[in-house]
Structure 1
Amino acid sequence: MAKVKMSKKATAVDMTAMCDVAFLLLTFFILTATAKQPEIVPVETPASTVQVKLPESDLAIITIANGGKVFFGVKAPDVRIKTLELISEQYKLSFTEEEKKRFSLMEEFGVPVNQLNGLIKLSSTDRNNEGVQIGIPHDSLDNQLKEWVRAARNANAEVNEKQLNFAIKGDAKEQYPEIKKIMDILQEQKVNKFNLVTGLRGE
């Protein structure tokens, strides 16, 4: 008996719904993404196999660039503003509301306090030009970094009612005595626990 041959029909999949979903996801990621701020100075961190993430909040970062320049930054914008207000009271400086708002957008900075007004007025591109930010003084005669650390801790305690965490981001080419100097500044203020920022290295 002869077999009945079934006619083969071409299968078609409607991809309209998948395209809609793909474009919706793409639009969502574009609208919710935040642009990465350019670094003030390029810092090549030492390699490590330890994988411990930095805290997402209540964090201040001290960056030590090659050459001993020190930069300071606080993650939370509202804590940045309060820190600036405390520093302005201590050093008898004045900042307008607009200047405070512009300062709250600066992730890190590295100038003496008497140059802070001029730095805030610059655009973000001009701030990152080489030679504009000479670093925060942190020697025994003029230890402004110590005052920034103290002000940031007090500001975070007042705004968030939490203890501020610290991370040290040092250049791999930097000499250890410079890193040790920053650690001593933290330990003078009873900050004995802090993170060291490193790059990931394979086992």
Structure 2
Amino acid sequence: MAKVKKHSVYIDMTAMSDVTVLLLTFFMLTSTFLPLEPVRVTAPASVMEIKVPDYNVINILVDLRGKVFVNIDRPEVRLEALEKMSAEYGVALDDRQKKAFLEQPYIGVPMNRLPAFLDLPFAEQDAAMREYGIPNDSTDNQFINWVRKAREIDSEMKITIKADQTTPYPLVEGVMKDLVKIKANRYSLVTVLRGAPEGF
């Protein structure tokens, strides 16, 4: 009986690994990452398919209790707005605090508490921010000032408002009325997409 010779099979995986690395690099370079939000918000559902802008945007976040947080996505605009707000409210910040301000995606504390907030370790800042929010009452509306300063720097900045689906409407309406006061009448409400109802 003749013996059958066994040959080992060799598959060259070099081309496959090259393609994998290229795809991974492509996705890493083209994807945009959402900033970490200080509070968890479940946006209401809608059937609108208009994409909200993802660059040159002022993102406004309203939590269940009506606390307001603002994200200005361009670092150079954030820093210039911070300098204008610091001058207006008489708050002195050193270079280390300004660097910490740029690392924190959302603005969510009153100006008088900002230096102490920026001195906290980064891991503790989120919990501290949830306690405050930007003042937006009739006596001290720092929220309007942040938006106004950012739009003075770049009038083309778009505005988005994101609130939880269970946030009482008067709280969101208050934010919208604040925007009207500074003639920021065009903004997008962030929602999640759901299927259209039958017959729509």
The alignment's TM-score, normalised by the length of structure 2, stands at: 0.83
Partners of 2:108 and 2:134 within 8 A in 1: yes
Are residue 117 (structure 1) and residue 83 (structure 2) matched? no
Question: 2:6 matched to which residue of 1?
Answer: none
- Please list the CA deviations of residues 1-34 of structure 1 after superposition, one character each: whole Å capped at 9, or x if unmatched: xxxxxxxxxx986443223322343356558867
Q: What pairs up with 1:5-84 in 2 under 5 angstroms?
A: 14-26=12-24, 29=27, 37-84=35-82
Provide the C-alpha distance between the structure 2 equivalents of 1:72 and 1:14, rounded to a whole number of angstroms: 52
Partners of 2:117 and 2:128 within 8 A in 1: no
2:132 alignment partner, SS class:
coil
- Please list the CA deviations of residues 147-176 of structure 1 after superposition, one character each: whole Å capped at 9, or x if unmatched: 1111111123xxxxx422111111111111
Partners of 1:77 and 1:105 within 8 A in 2: no
Question: 1:4 matched to which residue of 2?
Answer: none
1:60 alignment partner, SS class:
strand
Question: 1:135 matched to which residue of 2?
Answer: 133
Question: 2:188 matched to which residue of 1?
Answer: 195
Question: 1:154 matched to which residue of 2?
Answer: 152
Indicate the percent of aligned positions where both proteins have the same amino acid: 39
Distance 1:153 1:133, change over 3 A: farther
Count of residue pairs the alignment pairs up: 188
Match of 1:179 among 167, 172, 176: 172
Distance 1:113 1:201, change over 3 A: same
Letter in 1 for 2:98: K
Which blocks of at least 5 consecutive residues in structure 1 are unaligned?
Answer: 1-10, 157-161
Partners of 2:108 and 2:129 within 8 A in 1: no
Distance 1:165 1:29, change over 3 A: closer
Question: 1:164 matched to which residue of 2?
Answer: 157
Distance 1:13 1:31, change over 3 A: same
Which blocks of at least 5 consecutive residues in structure 2 are unaligned?
Answer: 1-8
Provide the C-alpha distance between the structure 2 equivalents of 1:193 and 1:33, rounded to a whole number of angstroms: 27
1:97: Cα distance to partner? 2.0
Partners of 1:63 and 1:168 within 8 A in 2: yes
The alignment's TM-score, normalised by the length of structure 1, stands at: 0.82
Provide the C-alpha distance between the structure 2 equivalents of 1:163 and 1:191, rounded to a whole number of angstroms: 11
User: Which one has a bigger Cα radius of gyration?
Assistant: 1
Provide the alpha-carbon RMSD of the alignment.
2.4
Partners of 2:109 and 2:129 within 8 A in 1: no
Partners of 1:41 and 1:65 within 8 A in 2: yes
